């Protein structure tokens, strides 16, 4: 028995495919779907009219995904809570494989993220490369320290024991939450058989803005928890001096991963590389700017 929580904001172009994928699951157990929506487009109308069995929680003001997930957790009926994003499509056996993986000793289980090819333009490919290089098809089943909340599940006791997502760290509230769990001894299982397809931003302006926002959040996270790069992020002058080098390292690492795991993406769309590079420059601008705009976190 599973509760599926989906945070949503202005998702009228993707919510139907997301919910259709859940209605087409091979899983034979009971499950509920909770959509926590703060849209001002047609998303709530679509959910109410086409999916009457789904529990819709509509909020009157824009809400970050972490806070929306927290609201969904509070409304969840079942002991196993799975998270999917409104711009994702779940594999037909998504819930079945999540349930099976949780029959092991793991209370936190997630999977890989595939790139949706429905609107496979250069910007969408660049977004996929920038955000999901560590969660590509071809990875082995293994313990990890983090899995994105577009494809992860938790036993409810995790939230009772450790609290909820910190929405102020969006769009990396899942990273800081999962790191805290791992640091306190919880084991996180990445099972590549658990798969979702992610629709990425197809507009260049939206892509660049989001990368800048991720850069700002990354700076905050690295000043809060001791991950690779924390030493730099906690020193604004050093951050400024090394920003070009950091950007180059991210670019090279990303290309290496994709050449190993998904070489066709680059071979078929070589022009994705300058778009990716431009996105990483915007990431770096956000990363540097956040170092000066906020006090270092102890």
CATH number of the CATH domain containing 41 = 3.90.550.10
Q: 161 and 82 in one domain?
A: yes
Q: What is the pLDDT of residue 119?
A: 55
pLDDT of residue 297: 36
Summarised one tens digit per residue, pLDDT across range 250-260 is 999 999 999 99
pLDDT, one tens digit per residue, over 256-277 is 999 999 999 999 999 999 999 9
Domain limit, last residue, from 129, 163, 198: 198
- Work out the average pLDDT over 36-64: 96
On whether both 228 and 157 belong to a single domain, the answer is: no
Report the pLDDT averaged over residues 93-108. 96
The total domain count for the chain is 2
- How far does the chain reach from its first CA to its final CA, in angstroms? 41
* Residue range 188-201, pLDDT digits in tens: 999 999 999 999 99
Q: Does 165 share its domain with 266?
A: no
In a domain, 298, yes or no: no
pLDDT digits (tens, 9 = 90+) for 139-160: 899 999 999 999 999 999 999 9
Confidence tier at 298 by pLDDT (50, 70, 90): very low
Instruction: Please report whether residue 153 resides in a domain.
Output: yes
pLDDT of residue 292: 85
What pLDDT, on the 0 to 100 scale, is given for residue 11? 96
Q: Are residues 213 and 173 in the same domain?
A: no
- 124 and 11 together in one domain: yes
What's the whole-model pTM score?
0.93
**204-256, pLDDT tens digit by residue?**
999 999 999 999 999 999 999 999 999 999 999 999 999 999 999 999 999 99
Nearest to 120 by CA among 275, 281, 247: 275
């Amino acid at each position: 028995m599973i509760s599926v929580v989906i945070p949503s904001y202005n998702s009228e172009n993707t919510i139907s495919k997301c919910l259709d994928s859940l209605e087409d699951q091979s899983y034979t157990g009971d499950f509920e779907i909770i959509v926590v929506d703060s849209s001002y487009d047609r998303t709530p109308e679509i959910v109410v009219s086409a999916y009457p069995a789904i529990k819709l929680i509509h909020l009157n003001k824009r809400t970050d995904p972490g806070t929306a997930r927290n609201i969904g957790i509070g409304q969840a009926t079942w002991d196993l809570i799975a998270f999917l994003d409104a711009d994702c499509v779940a594999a037909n056996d998504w819930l079945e494989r999540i349930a099976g993986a949780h029959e092991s000793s793991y209370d936190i289980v997630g999977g890989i993220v595939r790139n949706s090819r429905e609107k496979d333009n250069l910007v969408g490919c660049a977004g996929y490369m920038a955000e999901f290089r560590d969660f590509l098809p071809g990875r082995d089943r293994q313990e990890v320290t983090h899995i994105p909340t577009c494809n992860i599940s938790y036993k409810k006791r995790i939230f009772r024991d450790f609290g909820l997502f910190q929405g102020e760290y969006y769009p990396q509230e899942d990273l800081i939450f999962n790191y805290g769990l791992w640091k306190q001894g919880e084991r996180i299982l990445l099972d590549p058989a658990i798969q979702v397809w992610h629709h990425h931003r197809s507009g260049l302006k939206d892509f660049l803005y989001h990368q800048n926002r991720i850069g700002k959040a990354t700076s905050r996270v690295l000043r809060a928890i001791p991950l690779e790069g924390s030493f730099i992020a906690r020193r604004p002058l050093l951050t400024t001096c090394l920003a070009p080098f950091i950007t180059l390292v991210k670019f090279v690492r990303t290309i290496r991963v994709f050449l190993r795991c998904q070489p066709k993406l680059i071979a078929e769309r070589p022009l994705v590389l300058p778009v990716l590079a431009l996105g990483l420059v915007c990431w770096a601008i956000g990363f540097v700017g956040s170092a000066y705009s906020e006090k270092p976190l102890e």
